[in-house]
Amino acid sequence: MNELGKRGKMHIVDCGEQYAEQIRAIFNEAIANSTALYDYSPRSSETMRQWFAAKKAGDYPVIGVVTEGGELAGFGSYGTFRAWPAYKYTVEHSLYVASGFRGQGTGRRLMQEIILRAGRQGYHLLIGGIDSENTASKELHRKFGFTHAGTIREAGFKFGRWLDLEFHQLILPTPAEPRDG
């Protein structure tokens, strides 16, 4: 699970609340400087407590790539796609890479782990919502076999312009025996 990056070996960890401030910093950088999140306000410590509680309640992992020195290079997770019972095998994932670690394989490691864990938990479909101008994220998803499933035009408004939201999907060979109800 180790990989040599520009800052030494990096490894996958399960991120508990001890990583909350580092995750919050990555979220807030993305909110302030990109359209990776269609959000305007920085996340607070309380918001992060609620976020971790929701992940725990749903049995959704929070996965990190961490340097030997304990610096969080990026994180990913997944959660409910839609709250109706028939969507129980579908999850929407997200991953974020700290600005100083982009282009070093962090996103690739996170995506591998997200796919692996979703399959282990018996999910069938991974959905990624990606801003239409985020070519790096779209290319990462393409490399893992995701296909474009549709675009919602002008779904968001940020930085004084309308944003188009693309959905990309990956069908997993799980669960072995899906059931209604």
37 domain-assigned: yes
Its domain, for residue 144, covers 3-171
CA atoms within 13 A on the CB side of 56: 9
The answer to the question of residue 176 being in a domain is no
Residue-level pLDDT at 138: 98
Confidence (pLDDT) at 2: 42
Output the pLDDT for position 6: 53
pTM of full prediction above 0.85: yes
Whether 46 is in a domain gets the answer yes
Residue 180 counted as domain residue:
no
* CATH number reported for the structural domain that contains residue 19 in this entry: 3.40.630.30
Total domains present in the chain: 1
Evaluate whether residue 107 is within a structural domain.
yes
Q: Check residue 128 and give its pLDDT.
A: 98
**pLDDT value at position 181?**
86
- C-alpha distances (whole Å) from 102 to each of 105, 137, 169 are 7, 11, 23
Please tell me the predicted confidence (pLDDT) of residue 4: 46
Over its length of 181 residues, how does the chain's per-residue pLDDT go in tens digits? 444 445 568 999 999 999 999 999 999 999 999 999 999 999 999 999 999 999 999 999 999 999 999 999 999 999 999 999 999 999 999 999 999 999 999 999 999 999 999 999 999 999 999 999 999 999 999 999 999 999 999 999 999 999 999 999 999 999 999 999 8
Distance CA 86, CA 69 (A): 43
Report how far residue 66's alpha carbon sits from residue 75's, in angstroms, rounded to the nearest whole number. Answer: 9
